[in-house]
């Protein structure tokens, strides 16, 4: 097992270096520099432009800049935003809990609905349930997030008035960010209204962000379940006279879950991509929106640092999933 863990870990290092190089190169290849972007229509005279480029260290060739960047990185220094002049790490840590809270809720939503839906579709194969669930999940999978979010806002917040439109909590509640997770912070605030408001604000973004993973999980559960249900041992279990619930719920589901867990792990990357759009629509103060703003302003340190930190999180989660998978499935563990 130790050997397996070490092999997995050693793969992470080149990936990490690759991410830093890619983030650095892509951002510097985009035309336009932050000084020009700040200057606006006014323009900036070449002398001042040069002085500012020097101040930000942008006058060096990119190889030197990359070297300096890596050197700072080794000291744990991700630099400061060129716009707000705040350290990148502190901006990330204030914003990341919001993204994490939303993503966790979305994954939970997707699993809680996706697993049973996939199971029902598999058990009732080729019935109206199956076709209905698969049709809906295909629609969910193809739904553009932006449009879906606005549609839900118009219906539930606009016409019906059931849910708040955007934000994380009503502006009337003054919550001190202790943990950064608003569900916890609002519970700590002794005001039950605050918690209720936080939950109400979470509903629509959770649905919007959870829709694609929900569809994927439902489809994956169905096909994996169908495969398992056709196995000999299931027939044996049935022939033995086991209750249908035990056959499906215990014997089939456990084995069907293995590929589903992998898929859930792989969804983390998709989730962050979806979070960028979801956060923009719902004014959700997370890292997705932060990165989008940074692109527009050519805020290099934020973009590099943000991509790197998110990349690290995705790699971390995938690593954990890989290890878990090895734990569940001895064949993988021993192959290495």
Query: Is 179:160 a contact under the CB 8 Å cutoff?
Result: no
Closest approach, Cβ 256 to other proteins, in A, equals: 40
State in angstroms the smallest separation of the CB of 19 from other proteins.
24
Least CB distance from residue 146 to other proteins, whole Å? 9
Residue 45 or 232: the one with the smaller Cβ distance to other proteins is: 45
Which CB sits closer to other proteins, 12 or 39? 39
Choice between 59 and 231, CB closer to other proteins? 59
Question: Considering beta carbons, is residue 6 or 30 the nearer one to other proteins?
Answer: 30
Task: Specify the residue, 134 or 150, whose C-beta has the smaller distance to other proteins.
Answer: 150
At residue 123, what are phi and psi to the nearest 5 degrees? -65, -45
* Closest CB to other proteins among residues 55, 231: 55
Q: Which positions touch other proteins (CB under 8 A)?
A: 30-33, 36-43, 45, 48, 52, 55, 83-86, 91, 94-95, 98, 150, 153-154, 157-158, 161, 164-168, 170-172, 174, 177, 190-193, 280-283, 285-286, 289-290, 293, 298
Q: How far is the CB of 173 from other proteins (least distance, A)?
A: 8
Compute the least distance from the CB of residue 81 to other proteins, in Å: 9
Query: Least separation, in Å, of the C-beta of 111 and other proteins?
Result: 28
């Amino acid at each position: 097992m130790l050997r397996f863990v070490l092999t997995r870990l050693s793969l992470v290092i080149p990936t990490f270096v690759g991410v830093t190089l890619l983030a650095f190169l892509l951002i510097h290849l985009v035309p336009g520099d932050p000084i020009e972007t700040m200057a606006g229509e006014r323009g900036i005279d070449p002398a001042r432009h040069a002085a500012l480029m020097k101040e930000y260290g942008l006058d060096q060739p990119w190889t030197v800049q990359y070297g300096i960047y890596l050197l700072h990185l080794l000291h744990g220094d991700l630099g400061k935003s060129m716009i707000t002049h705040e350290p990148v790490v502190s901006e990330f840590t204030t914003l990341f809990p919001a993204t994490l809270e939303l993503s966790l809720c979305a994954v939970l939503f997707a699993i809680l609905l996706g697993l049973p839906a996939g199971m029902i579709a598999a058990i009732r194969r080729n019935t109206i349930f199956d076709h209905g669930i698969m049709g809906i999940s295909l629609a969910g999978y193809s739904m553009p997030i932006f449009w879906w979010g606005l549609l839900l806002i118009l219906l539930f917040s606009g016409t019906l008035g059931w849910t708040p439109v955007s934000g994380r909590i009503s502006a009337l509640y003054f919550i001190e960010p202790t943990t950064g997770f608003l569900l916890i912070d609002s519970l700590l605030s002794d005001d039950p209204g605050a918690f209720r408001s936080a939950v109400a604000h979470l509903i629509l973004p959770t649905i919007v962000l959870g829709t694609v993973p929900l569809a994927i999980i439902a489809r994956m559960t169905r096909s994996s379940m169908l495969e398992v249900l056709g196995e000999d041992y299931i027939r044996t279990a049935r022939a033995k006279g086991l209750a249908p619930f035990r056959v499906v719920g215990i014997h089939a589901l456990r084995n069907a879950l293995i590929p589903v867990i992998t898929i859930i792990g792989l969804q983390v990357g998709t989730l962050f991509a979806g979070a960028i759009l979801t956060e923009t629509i719902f004014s959700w103060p997370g890292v997705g929106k932060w990165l989008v703003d940074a692109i527009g302003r050519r805020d290099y340190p934020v973009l590099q640092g943000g991509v790197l930190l998110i990349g690290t999180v995705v790699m971390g989660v995938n690593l954990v999933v890989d290890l878990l998978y090895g734990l569940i499935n001895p064949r993988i563990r021993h192959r290495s």
